[in-house]
């Protein structure tokens, strides 16, 4: 049993690294449908269930000291990849598709909560707000909302269960629909010529701006992200707070604004932010999973059903909006997965339509990072009033 805090952190980071390496080397389709981050969460959660580590003072100190400080740094780095000027170039149809997906997902959460709130606890809206952040952006947004609303890690087990099981099945469904692109476009009367032109321009820009990761840039990004984390927490400490705008919420907002602002400068183009933010994200997810327990998931089937209700409402409304705005299946599918799956899966679906479309999947997923935290908090606020 692990009782030393540093040993506990070292074990989680090493374990995460081994899973990521295995994902890269493994053959077959398992990791195509079950991302490494999901495997890490459930494997670490299983180890926690069997008490591989104990919640000693040393372990607790490392957990609380690393998780939140790393979280704000990760949010900043994650948003450095989201240049708003590039995102606007996606064109109106792609933006309509993306925000249609975001809004219908939010509506799905509200409908689900109205149907199931009697079966969940009074504070369950907080966990669903975190899930809404994840399904409008990514896992990083979910972790940000968890911190903003002070959600206990033990309450995140059900949320992450929905996020993995329902999400994995949704990815498989969207991939299975790819061959029906022409049938869907005929139904919605979509015209994809504008999308092809935007994609061509994005590829040209991507090739011209390609550069390699170097040590000075990586060190600068690490130092800047940690500094933003520290300064954001300091500023948040002197700002007025309410029941909804806590000190943690302010910290998340400040780090988010810093990331979006610098993304439109030369600093935002510094190579390496993707690698660093991903390292932080996987470490944070492993830390969260280390506090959860399978023994607490007695109501899992009900939560999984609730997740499918959200997806059913989202899908139904998306079909209606696709007909109204004449959106093609690619736009609807990638917009949906850019929200629900984020940058880890949206490019995979985009590539299934053609490798030329991968940049579009990446940029749409970047939009999710920008709105995910705010969108999840708004949906959570609505659910709390219900």
> How far from each other are the two terminal CA atoms of the chain, in whole angstroms?
44
> Please, what is the angle between helix 157-176 and helix 139-148, to 10°?
160
Token pair listed for 363: 């940029």
Residue 164 has pLDDT above 80, yes or no: no
Residue 216 has, within 13 A of its CA and on its CB side, a CA count of: 1
Which of 373, 316, 368 has the alpha carbon at shortest distance from 99? Answer: 368
Question: How far apart, in whole angstroms, are the C-alpha atoms of residue 343 and residue 362?
Answer: 6
C-alpha triplet 341, 281, 202: angle, nearest 5°:
55
Segment 349-372, tens digit of pLDDT? 776 776 556 667 767 777 787 888
Interval 335-351: pLDDT, tens: 898 888 776 667 667 76
382 near 225, Cβ under 8 Å? no
* pTM: predicted TM-score of the whole model, two decimal places: 0.65
Burial environment of residue 175 by CB neighbours within 10 A (0 to 12, 13 to 18, 19 or more): middle
What element of type H or E holds 336? helix 329-340
Per the model's pLDDT, the better-predicted residue between 359 and 281 turns out to be 281
Q: What is the pLDDT of residues 15-40, one digit of tens each?
A: 999 998 988 888 777 776 667 777 88
Which residue bears the tokens 């880890």? 344
Strand partners, 291: none
Confidence of residue 209 (pLDDT cuts 50, 70, 90): very low
Question: Is a pLDDT exceeding 90 seen at residue 105?
Answer: yes
Of 153-162, 187-196, 204-213, where does mean pLDDT reach its minimum? Answer: 204-213
Residue 119: name the closest of 292, 305, 296, 378 by CA.
305
What's the average model confidence in pLDDT over 57-77? 88
pLDDT for res 204 = 60
Question: Alpha-carbon torsion 176, 182, 184, 190, what sign?
Answer: positive
Exposure on the CB side of residue 100, measured as CA atoms within 13 A? 24
Cβ pair 283, 70 in contact under 8 A: yes
Q: How far apart are CA 362 and CA 112, in angstroms?
A: 29
Provide the pLDDT confidence category of residue 312 given band limits of 50, 70 and 90: very high
Section 131-156 average pLDDT: 79
Separation between Cα atoms, residue 8 and residue 1, nearest integer Å: 10
State the average pLDDT for the chain: 81
d(Cα 264, Cα 133) in Å, to the nearest integer? 23
* Cβ burial, residue 87 (10 Å; 0-12/13-18/19+): middle
- Distance separating alpha carbons of residues 73 and 358, to the nearest angstrom: 27
Place 208 in a pLDDT band, splitting at 50, 70 and 90: very low
Per residue in 173-203, pLDDT tens?
A: 887 787 888 888 888 887 766 566 655 665 5
Out of 62-76, 195-209, 240-254, 267-281, least confident range = 195-209
pLDDT surpassing 60 at residue 376: yes
Q: Of 22, 7, 25, 139, nearest to 63 (Cα)?
A: 7
What are the tens digits of pLDDT across the range 284-303?
A: 888 877 876 666 555 578 88
- CA–CA distance, 325 with 345 (Å, rounded to integer): 25
Binning pLDDT at 50, 70 and 90, where does residue 210 land? very low
């Amino acid at each position: 049993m692990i009782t030393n805090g540093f040993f506990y952190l070292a074990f989680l980071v090493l374990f995460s690294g081994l899973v990521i390496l295995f994902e890269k080397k493994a053959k077959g389709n398992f990791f195509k449908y079950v991302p490494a981050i999901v495997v890490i969460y459930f494997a670490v959660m299983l180890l926690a269930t069997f008490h591989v580590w104990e919640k000693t003072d040393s372990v607790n100190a490392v957990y609380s000291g690393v998780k939140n400080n790393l979280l704000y740094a990760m949010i900043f780095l994650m948003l450095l990849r989201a240049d708003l000027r590039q995102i606007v170039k996606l064109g109106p149809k792609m933006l309509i598709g993306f925000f249609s997906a975001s809004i219908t997902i939010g509506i799905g959460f509200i409908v689900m909560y109205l149907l199931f709130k009697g079966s969940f606890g009074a504070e369950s809206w907080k966990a669903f707000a975190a899930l809404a952040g994840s399904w409008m952006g990514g896992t990083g947004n979910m972790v940000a909302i968890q911190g903003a609303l002070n959600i206990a890690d033990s309450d995140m087990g059900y949320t992450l269960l929905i996020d993995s099981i329902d999400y994995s099945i949704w990815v498989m469904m969207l991939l299975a629909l790819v061959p029906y692109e022409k049938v869907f476009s005929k139904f919605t009367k979509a015209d994809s010529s504008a999308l092809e032109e935007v994609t061509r321009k994005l590829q040209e820009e991507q090739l011209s701006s390609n550069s390699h990761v170097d040590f000075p840039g990586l060190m600068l990004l690490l130092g800047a992200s940690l500094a933003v984390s520290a300064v954001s927490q300091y500023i948040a400490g002197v700002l007025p707070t309410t029941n909804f705008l806590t000190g943690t919420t302010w910290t998340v907002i400040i780090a988010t604004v810093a990331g979006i602002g610098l993304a439109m400068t030369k600093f935002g183009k510094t190579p390496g932010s993707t690698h660093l933010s991903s390292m932080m994200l996987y470490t944070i997810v492993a830390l969260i999973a280390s506090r959860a327990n399978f023994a607490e998931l007695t109501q899992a089937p009900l939560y999984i059903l609730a997740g499918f209700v959200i997806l059913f409402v989202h899908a139904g409304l998306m079909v209606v909006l696709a007909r109204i705005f004449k959106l093609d299946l690619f736009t609807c599918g990638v917009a949906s997965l850019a929200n629900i799956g984020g940058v880890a899966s949206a490019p995979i679906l985009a590539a299934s339509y053609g490798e030329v479309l991968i940049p579009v999947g990446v940029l749409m997923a970047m939009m999710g990072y920008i709105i995910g935290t705010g969108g999840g908090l708004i949906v959570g606020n609505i659910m709390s009033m219900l």
